[in-house]
Amino acid sequence: MASLRKYAVKVDGALGRVVKFSAAISSGIIFIMMFMITADVIMRYFFNSPIQGTFELSEFCLVGIVFFSIAYIQSEKGHIKIDIATAWMPKKGQMILDIFSYILGIAFFAIVFWQSGKMAWNAWVIQDYTMGLVEFPLWPAKFLVPYGAGLICLKFLSNIVQDISSIFSPAIDGIEEKGQV
């Protein structure tokens, strides 16, 4: 079990770097989106000349913000969790419940990965574009969905391995005994 834990720590370190880089891209997209929308508002109200395509680009930015950062939120344990329902449980019980929720998360996001990947590939093949004054290709935004879904599946898998190795680690028993004293 110790070798599994060492391997999991190495893999999680590499995954963590990818996740943090994706979160940094998400932060950059937020900045770009804020600048773009602010410039559009200024141009619209002060010069009566809005920037064409701002609405469509902001939709794409929202997809990027969500799917570049979803795995980072998981790495920070920032997703919704109802602690009051599990606070009474021992630490091992909480970890087992977490593992179960990670498995459900993998199942859900694997389906999202699979279906959105098919849709993104189709958008690439047929060269799908938005309709409007400015036409933007849809495939870049559509590829962000399977990217984020795949990354969070890997993060869930990493969390499962870490929690399983922690459950069988003697250190977790020491933590529980200290909490019960």
Which pLDDT tens digit goes with each residue over 86-134?
778 888 888 888 899 999 999 999 999 999 999 999 999 999 888 877 8
pTM comes to 0.82
Between residues 53 and 118, the one the model is more confident about: 118
For residue 84, name the pLDDT band (cuts at 50, 70, 90).
Answer: confident
- Nearest residue to 137 (alpha-carbon basis) of 149, 125, 150: 125
Domain range spanning residue 73?
2-180
State the total domains in the chain: 1
Confidence of residue 157 (pLDDT cuts 50, 70, 90): very high
pLDDT at 118: 95
Q: How far is CA 52 from CA 31, 39, 64, in A?
A: 19, 11, 20
Q: What's the mean pLDDT in 56-67? A: 92
Query: What's the pLDDT at 64?
Result: 93
Higher pLDDT, 101 or 177: 101
- Name the band, by pLDDT with cuts 50, 70 and 90, for residue 35: very high
Long-range contacts of 28-34 (CB under 8 A, 24+ apart): 29/61, 29/64, 29/65, 29/68, 30/61, 30/65, 32/61, 33/57, 33/58, 33/61, 33/62, 33/65
Cβ–Cβ contacts within 10 Å for residue 59, how many?
12
